[in-house]
Amino acid sequence: MATDRNTAPEEALEALYGSDTFGIKTMEKYLSKSAFKKMMNTIRQGGKLDPGIADEVAQAMKVWALSKGATHYTHWFQPLSDATAEKHDSFVEPDGEGGMICEFTGKTLIQGEPDASSFPSGGIRATFEARGYTAWDPTSPAFIKRTAHTATLCIPTAFCSYTGEALDKKTPLLRSMKAVGTQAARVLKCFGITPSCVDSNLGAEQEYFLVDRDLYLKRPDLIETGRTLFGCLPPKHQQMEDHYFGSIKERVLEFMSSVDHALWALGVPAKTRHNEVAPAQFEIAPLFEASNVAVDHNVMIMDILQRQALKFNLVCLLHEKPYACVNGSGKHNNWSLSTPELGSLFSPGKTPHSNLVFLTFLASVIRAIDLHADLLRASISKAGNDHRLGAQEAPPAIISIFLGDQLTDIVEQIKAGGAKSSTSKTTMELGVDVLPALPKDTTDRNRTSPFAFTGNKFEFRAVGSSQTCAWPMAVLNTIEAETLDMIATKLEPVVGTPEFTSTVTELIKEMITKHDRIIFNGNGYSEEWLAEAERRGLPNLKDTPEALEVLSRPDTIALMEKYGVLSRAELLARKEVQIENYEKLIDIEAKTCLNMLRTIYMPAVNKQMASLCSTIASIKASGISAGLAAVTQQAESIGALCDELPGKVAALDAAISNGCPQRMKIAMQDARDTVDALEALVAADLWPVPTYAQMLNIHSK
Ligand code: ADP
Ligand code: MG
């Protein structure tokens, strides 16, 4: 790493970039020509890896990793939690003569067998057959994970049960990429385009909060649950709108810079950094990449954000809603399909022909999202995200597409034009006439839409900040594959015939006419939209338990099985894991809440009461009457709130014993209302935990 990080000249930055990854350049240097060619074929074209080169690749990886100071390697994977998993093995093997050699074979590279009995499997794998295995994903580069004094070679892998069922988030993503790539290529072929491959791309913008570590350590709720369970609104929060894109203060900028440098070393193309809407909220965005690589990189970003923060005595909060009073955090998933030759298939083109391709792909997304809005909603369900969706600040729980006025106008004309004339002429001319005038960055930015068209890609904004993008992207790819499959099936028989163009335009018109209820360009936070969406028959799945039901519906199972993304058993297991995860999270929150009430807030308020009572007693003893009424009134107000607490504590306790998440949520909110009211009355020096005002003011230190 360059020592003078912040002023590193271009060459130093170039040398830093990817220096801790076994990427293409490194491979070229360490592999024989033929092995390198085979690896590139797998990486670029998704071809099957030739097992014959595994030993050579392993050897090269070992030599490289050792040169980077690595002592251990690990198969790095993404189990069904939102975390990553790693079990380290050292390279050390005895040489039989009391010494050691460093060993790493092709077999160990390709496959690992972690004892995985404690990973969530949703009942797929009983513990007696606990063995799962990890399989190398050669399309995502291996990398070195560093701490101050350690270096570990991390090999991105998929994780399956012994019987071959996917137990991770990556496997269905890879399968969905293949499905959508295959179907998109079929459609392109109908238009006479033969791409070398079709990629599903992802650029994931990551929002996060920073909090001073000393304050964080005084908040058991943040430590245990990642969010504050109590805290009243400070006078100044985000109403001045002065944080968004504001000048980045020094402490934070130093942190961001260290994050960027750590990420660049890992070959993560960190690009954008800025202040977000809420105080103490920020964003980092890398450049887009193939979805599986982008998902790995996003997980690495989350890891680096958290680790680097500690170096600045900060804690990075990735929870969707750390503070009740200000905006929550999301992860905007910028998604597109592209070919190396054409770029994004969602780019309006310059010629009539390419515009027809564009309109076909645009219409396909409209259809796919409308058909599966509920499944897409289900793909982002998590306890933390429930606080965000529909909370007047984040995308609503109702999925709709924002197209912008111009494209909507085109869509309207296609509907009308096609209706007027059954010949394709009108519609075609429309495509020719209108689209070339389309400026590239057509969209009037609409921040309230969960799924927005933004020029040459779609931005799925409802993903939560702590979730991995793997599952939402797998769902998106799969539903898109289904519609592209339908399109290809309809077009293939007419390829080369005079009816081709009219068939395409009719199909576009039909898709748009049938599914345009999903298009909404207005304010997604408004009450009117709720009513309008209901009128249109769009699903509004309010919380995680309601949304997860979609996963076990026969049509969902059929869809996932048809495109080989998840089997019925795999899908049902995922639902199981997510329900369990939801229930556990709420249970942890409720228990933390109860604990804080009993051991932190009630004792603090008692102290305040005792102090007021002794003041009252001493005023009385002094014989003066002035001031007595004021102190008495203060004690009465606080006392009245104190009297609410035992009942609320008992209700929460009962809800926990009862095990009902919904009851726990209501009881927590109820108790919070009282504590927050007390916070506004109790002496600041007696208040036992840091306030919102203190925590949100990250720059004061
Ligand atoms: P915003 O203005 O929405 O905040 P950002 O610059 O923060 O935009 O992030 C935009 C993201 O979209 C980046 O990750 C960028 O690489 C990604 N992106 C740009 N073009 C495409 C594309 N064709 N496909 C997928 N992602 C893309
Ligand atoms: Mg952004």
Q: Encode pLDDT of 549-589 as tens digits.
A: 999 999 999 999 999 999 999 999 999 999 999 999 999 99
Neighbour count for residue 237 (Cβ, 10 Å): 17
Lowest mean pLDDT among 102-106, 425-429, 609-613: 425-429
**Range of weakest confidence among 13-27, 400-414, 495-509:** 400-414
> What is the separation of C-alpha 377 from the centre of its chain, rounded to a whole number of angstroms?
13
Ligand index nearest the alpha carbon of residue 440 = 1
What's the gap in Å between 443 CA and the centre of ligand 1? Answer: 13
122 vs 160, more confident:
160
Pair of tokens at residue 421:
């004339």
What is the 8-class DSSP label of residue 398? S
The Å distance, Cα 285 to ligand 1 centre, comes to 8
Percent of the chain with pLDDT over 70: 92
Residues 141 and 18: their CA atoms lie apart, in Å, by: 10
Instruction: Provide the token pair at 226.
Output: 């990642």
pLDDT on residue 29: 95
pTM for the full model? 0.93
* pLDDT of 101 over the 80 cut: yes
Q: Name the average pLDDT for the chain.
A: 90
- Amino acid identity at 636: E
Residue nearest to atom 16 of ligand 1 (CA): 287
What pLDDT score does 162 carry? 78
- How far apart are the CA of 269 and the centre of ligand 2, in A? 14
Is the Cβ atom of 205 under 6 angstroms away from ligand 1?
yes
User: What's the pLDDT at 1?
Assistant: 46
Residue bearing the bigger pLDDT, 541 or 4: 541
CA-proximal residue: ligand 1, atom 2 (nearest): 445
Dihedral of alpha carbons 515, 516, 522, 528, sign = negative
Compute, in angstroms, the gap from residue 268 CA to the centroid of ligand 2: 16
Taking the C-alpha atoms of residue 328 and residue 207, their distance in angstroms, rounded to an integer, is 9
Ligand 2 is a single-atom ion; what residues have CB below 5 A from it?
Answer: 205
Q: Is the CB of 203 under 6 A from ligand 1?
A: yes
Closest-CA residue, ligand 1 atom 4, reads: 205
Q: Distance of alpha carbon 381 from its chain centroid, rounded?
A: 11
Ligand 1 contact via 457 beta carbon (within 6 Å): yes
Q: What is the pLDDT of residue 701?
A: 52
Identify the pLDDT of residue 681.
97
Give me ligand 1 centre to Cα 203, in Å: 5
Indicate the helix (H) or strand (E) that contains 206.
Answer: strand 199-212
CB distance 342 to ligand 1 below 6 Å: no
Ligand 2 centroid–CA 273 distance in Å is: 8
User: Rounded to the nearest 5°, which phi and psi values hold at 66?
Assistant: -65, -40
Q: For a pocket test of ligand 1, which of 329, 334, 457 has the largest count of ligand atoms closer than 8 A to its C-beta? A: 334
| pLDDT at residue 8 in the model | 56
* Mean pLDDT computed over 474-499: 97
